[in-house]
């Protein structure tokens, strides 16, 4: 049995916690972002409370007070499972055998906080997960292990994460911890010449230009699904699109024109064909595309503007 300091959140963090507990380890603390007023209960926080574990929730871990509360030197290994906060190097290196961090790409490619989105936006067909020893760089520490995954041509960032990355990532995280504890881990320095880094994927990156090719827009929409949602304009309304599928070859319609609208979705022309979207978000509500279209008065033959 080893002593583990866990940083994480959400279902991924909960599942990693369950794996560590199943392996008989003692959890010195579960550390998370501060709770948001009115926010949903976090599954990791609920599981930690259920197991009677010490729970630390802070807006920042950069202070001396945070170091004392976390008490990293009481642990053998630190584990970062779905962490969006910056954890200082003093805490990361505090445990006896340092720390293990999960990342949803094959590092050194796609460093950064929205690696899943950018892999799909760029049309990657292979992805994976990496467990590495974090340092003071961004996803730049030496690698403990990697697992490669296929990215399907119609997968969204959400479906790829839950159907592929999640289970493989949880298992790989727990496996990497056991390797470090057993002394069998052989961390390999990342090749900086192959490193790539993208900004956080935000609305400024998710705007649709209907004059672009179908393949490019398909990748943009699925990479931004579910967040932030690739978007265009209908009058004064911002419309976001989800559940993208390539539908037809060139219809001759002007890019941005609605060429089909049914319970199967909304079909819109791009530069060299059409795309069908199963859902849209408009007027503050996400719904099947034909319902959302009715809400804002979007009809077949109408033309949407680029973002």
pLDDT digits (tens, 9 = 90+) for 178-204: 999 999 999 999 999 999 999 999 999
Average pLDDT value for residue range 114-133: 98
In a 10 Å sphere around its CB, with 0-12 CB exposed, 13-18 middle and 19+ buried, how is residue 194 labelled?
Answer: exposed
**107 neighbors 132 (Cβ within 8 angstroms):** yes
Average pLDDT value for residue range 283-293: 94
pLDDT at 205 over 90: yes
Q: Tell me how far apart the alpha carbons of residues 263 and 46 are, in angstroms, rounded to a whole number.
A: 39
How high is the pLDDT of residue 259? Answer: 96
**268 neighbors 258 (Cβ within 8 angstroms):** yes
Most confidently modeled range among 37-46, 67-76, 243-252: 67-76
Average pLDDT value for residue range 150-158: 98
**5 neighbors 75 (Cβ within 8 angstroms):** yes
pLDDT at 140 over 90: yes
Identical topology for domains 3-194 and 203-296? no
Residue 252 confidence class, pLDDT cut points 50, 70, 90: confident
The class level of CATH for 3-194 reads alpha beta
Residue 307 confidence class, pLDDT cut points 50, 70, 90: confident
Show me where the domains of the chain are located: 3-194, 203-296
Tokens of 284: 């503050």
How high is the pLDDT of residue 251? Answer: 84
pLDDT at 284 over 90: no
Dihedral-angle region of residue 41 (phi above 0 means left; psi in -120 to 50 means alpha; beta otherwise):
beta
Bridge partners of 277, per DSSP, are: 244, 266
Domain 203-296 superfamily per CATH: Formyl transferase, C-terminal domain (3.10.25.10)
How high is the pLDDT of residue 148? Answer: 98
Average pLDDT value for residue range 140-151: 98
Dihedral-angle region of residue 188 (phi above 0 means left; psi in -120 to 50 means alpha; beta otherwise):
beta
How high is the pLDDT of residue 38? Answer: 79
How far is residue 199 from each of residues 91, 192, 196, 202, 226, measured CA to CA in Å?
Answer: 25, 18, 10, 8, 17
Percent of the chain with pLDDT over 70: 100
How high is the pLDDT of residue 282? Answer: 93
Q: Using alpha carbons, select from 66, 104, 68 the residue that is nearest to residue 86.
A: 66
pLDDT at 304 over 90: yes
How high is the pLDDT of residue 164? Answer: 96
Mean residue pLDDT across the chain: 96
How high is the pLDDT of residue 306? Answer: 85
Q: Which residues contact 104 (CB under 8 A, 6 or more apart)?
A: 115, 116, 127, 129, 161, 165, 169
How far is residue 285 from each of residues 191, 224, 241, 291, measured CA to CA in Å?
Answer: 44, 17, 12, 10
pTM of the model: 0.95
* pLDDT tens column, 21-46: 999 999 999 999 999 887 889 999 99
């Amino acid at each position: 049995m080893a002593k583990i300091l866990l940083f994480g959140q959400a279902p991924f963090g909960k599942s990693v916690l369950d794996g560590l507990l199943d392996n008989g380890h003692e959890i010195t603390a579960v550390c998370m972002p501060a709770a948001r007023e009115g926010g949903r209960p976090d599954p990791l926080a609920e599981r930690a409370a259920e197991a009677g574990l010490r729970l630390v929730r802070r807006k920042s871990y950069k202070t001396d007070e945070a170091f004392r509360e976390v008490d990293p030197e009481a642990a053998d290994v630190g584990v970062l499972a779905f962490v969006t906060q910056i954890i200082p190097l003093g805490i990361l290196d505090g445990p006896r055998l340092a720390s293990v961090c999960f990342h949803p790409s094959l590092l050194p490619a796609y460093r950064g906080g929205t690696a899943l989105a950018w892999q799909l936006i760029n049309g990657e067909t292979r992805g994976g997960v990496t467990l590495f020893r974090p340092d003071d760089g961004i996803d730049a520490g030496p690698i403990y292990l990697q697992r490669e995954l296929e990215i399907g041509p119609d997968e969204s960032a959400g479906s790829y994460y839950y159907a592929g990355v999640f289970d493989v990532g949880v298992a790989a995280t727990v496996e990497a911890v056991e390797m470090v504890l057993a002394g069998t881990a052989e961390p390999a320095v990342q090749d900086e010449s192959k490193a790539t880094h993208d900004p956080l994927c935000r609305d400024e990156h998710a705007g649709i230009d209907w004059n672009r090719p179908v393949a490019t827009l398909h990748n943009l929409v699925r990479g931004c699904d579910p967040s932030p949602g690739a978007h265009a304009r209908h009058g004064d309304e911002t419309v976001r699109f989800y559940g993208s599928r390539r539908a037809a070859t060139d219809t001759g319609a002007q890019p941005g024109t609605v060429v089909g609208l049914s319970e199967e979705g909304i079909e819109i022309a791009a530069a060299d064909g059409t795309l069908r979207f199963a859902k849209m978000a408009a007027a503050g509500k996400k719904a099947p595309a034909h319902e959302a279209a009715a809400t804002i008065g979007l009809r077949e033959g109408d033309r949407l503007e680029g973002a």
